[in-house]
Homo-oligomer: A and B are copies of this chain.
Amino acid sequence: MAGGSASPGRSVTSRALGILDAFDSSAPRLSLSEIAERSGTPLTTAHRLLGELTGWGALVRRPDGRYEIGRKLWDLGLIAPVQLELRQVAAPFLLDLHTTTRDTVHLAVREGVSALYVERVSGRESVPVVSQVGSRLPLHATGVGKVLLAAAPDDVVERVLGALRPVTPHTVTDPAVLARELAEIRRRRYARTSQEMSLGAASLAVPVQVERAGGPLAVAALGIVVPPHRRDLSRLVPALEMAARGIGRELARSREFH
């Protein structure tokens, strides 16, 4: 009878941490049984581990019994140097763009075959919140993603072209169409998405480049989302390009010292 036969192999610690993997931006509040199921942990074990995680402050218990991420992880997350240099350098430029245009501006980097949004200044007009800081989207699904893809190594491009899952009803799913778009982006130095018009916004994105010995190196993409009733997208290109060049210049300078 009674339990016993300890864990199936993984270490205690990674088992506890695995619990945290159940949490996600699309599932920020979870009940005990949901967590147990999502993390593949026996209910009782999950219960105990949750107790410890809560005790430490990694999680907090809501009045309704569900768990959510606690202060401690917020504190620690804030000091994570994820693209720290880029974010610090870029922040003033994003704010400047926001001040002059009043629109939503965001900055993303490539992480594998995803675009990772690392900074964002929200505009007043409510646009869909898909580019939340920390969120990841497939490279082929957004303007900044395509810009990053246009500058990515060939093997990455091929991997993306090989698996074009639709994200919105308007996502390109034809590899030939996307390849043509990428060529166009490389030629014009900016991407312009009309696909997302249906979401109530149009967007524009440009590459951020750092000058290096051996040619420029794209490290990020700068995007702006404009409400649909303003169609003066093209007039924004110079401002965006200037900001992108400014970020690249400052980044190169700050790296010289290091």
Interface residues of A (CB under 8 A from B): 11-14, 16-18, 20, 23-25, 28, 49, 52-53, 55-56, 58, 68-82, 91-92, 95, 98-99, 102, 121-122, 124, 132-134
Residues on the B chain within 8 Å of A124, using CB = 92
- Could you list 16 A-B pairs, sorted by A, with CB under 8 Å? A13-B13, A13-B49, A13-B53, A17-B52, A18-B56, A23-B76, A68-B80, A69-B76, A69-B80, A69-B81, A70-B80, A73-B77, A74-B80, A74-B134, A76-B77, A95-B98
In the complex the two chains form, what is the Cα distance from A95 to B56 in whole Å?
Answer: 35
Residues on the B chain within 8 Å of A98, using CB = 95, 99
For residue A24, which residue of chain B has the nearest CB?
B79
Tell whether, in the assembled complex, residue B25 and residue A79 are in contact, meaning their CB atoms are under 8 Å apart. yes
Residues on the B chain within 8 Å of A24, using CB = 79
Q: Which 4 pairs between the two chains have the least Cβ-Cβ distance?
A: A77-B77, A78-B134, A74-B80, A69-B80
Tell whether, in the assembled complex, residue A28 and residue B74 are in contact, meaning their CB atoms are under 8 Å apart. no
Cβ contact of A77, chosen from B53, B68, B80, cutoff 8 A? B80
Most B CB contacts (10 A, CB to CB) among A55, A58, A68, A79 go to: A79
Tell whether, in the assembled complex, residue B134 and residue A75 are in contact, meaning their CB atoms are under 8 Å apart. yes
Copies in the complex: 2
Beyond the given A13-B56, A73-B76, A77-B77, could you list 9 further A-B residue pairs with CB under 8 A, ordered by the A residue number?
A: A12-B12, A13-B49, A20-B72, A20-B76, A69-B77, A71-B82, A73-B73, A73-B80, A78-B133
**Distance from A230 Cβ to chain B, minimum over Cβ atoms (Å):** 18
Residues on the B chain within 8 Å of A72, using CB = 20
Tell whether, in the assembled complex, residue B95 and residue A121 are in contact, meaning their CB atoms are under 8 Å apart. yes
Residues on the B chain within 8 Å of A134, using CB = 74-75, 78-79
**A interface: dominant SS:** helix
For residue A126, which residue of chain B has the nearest CB?
B92
**Distance from A56 Cβ to chain B, minimum over Cβ atoms (Å):** 5
In the complex the two chains form, what is the Cα distance from A68 to B28 in whole Å?
Answer: 25
In the complex the two chains form, what is the Cα distance from A79 to B18 in whole Å?
Answer: 17
**Distance from A47 Cβ to chain B, minimum over Cβ atoms (Å):** 13
In the complex the two chains form, what is the Cα distance from A16 to B14 in whole Å?
Answer: 10
**Distance from A103 Cβ to chain B, minimum over Cβ atoms (Å):** 12
Residues on the B chain within 8 Å of A81, using CB = 28, 68-69
For residue A133, which residue of chain B has the nearest CB?
B78
In the complex the two chains form, what is the Cα distance from A133 to B18 in whole Å?
Answer: 28
Tell whether, in the assembled complex, residue B91 and residue A52 are in contact, meaning their CB atoms are under 8 Å apart. no
For residue A25, which residue of chain B has the nearest CB?
B79
